[in-house]
Amino acid sequence: MKISVFLVIMVVGCAFAFAFQEKLDREVEKELIRELLEHLETRQSIFSGGEDEVREAYETVRDDDNDITWFALKYDGRQLASPITGSDYADFLALCGGDDRVYGYVRVETGDEMNPRAKFAFITWIGPSVSPLKKARVSTDKAFVKAITTQFGKEILADELDELRYDRVKAILEKASGAAYGTGA
């Protein structure tokens, strides 16, 4: 079962790479397929610290009783390093460099003083300088991250920092949840 799911993810990832990104040349395509097959054969986790570390960071962000409002996963070689957590959104944005690939899970407070609500966004950052091969890997690896971070109001894919401004993310989450009532003014 897991093998067939992984193969489906691999095919979808390749299709994504061809449909929405620069056309990969034959050598890059062969390298991507070789890496994916190698990953399948060895069944190594993409998480260097294991899924439990990621799950713990996810639960921490969702917990109302702490100040942690985000966690991020960045690549260290072919694997995702241990989760980075924080409470200052500017620190999260600082992780999103031009040649970085980052998966983020962010808590945003919406509503008003009388009725505050927590909303969550799953963010995939692909810097503008990321190679086509690494872009293609994002689409396949993201499925493994999303298997853990299952509860979010909106998924955001970004390649420009302006797209990840806090006010924009908050507005996207409010609109997605139907909470963008406005005052009519």
pLDDT band at 43 (very low <50, low <70, confident <90, very high): very low
Superfamily of domain 2-177, CATH level 4: Severin (3.40.20.10)
Can you tell me the distance from the alpha carbon of 113 to that of 10, in angstroms, rounded to the nearest whole number? Answer: 45
55-74 mean pLDDT: 96
pLDDT digits (tens, 9 = 90+) for 104-155: 999 999 877 788 889 999 999 999 999 999 999 998 899 999 999 999 999 9
Residue 89 has pLDDT above 70, yes or no: yes
Can you tell me the distance from the alpha carbon of 69 to that of 23, in angstroms, rounded to the nearest whole number? Answer: 37
Contact 46, 76 (CB under 8 A): no
pTM of the model: 0.74
Q: Would you state the pLDDT for residue 116? A: 84
Residue 185 has pLDDT above 50, yes or no: no
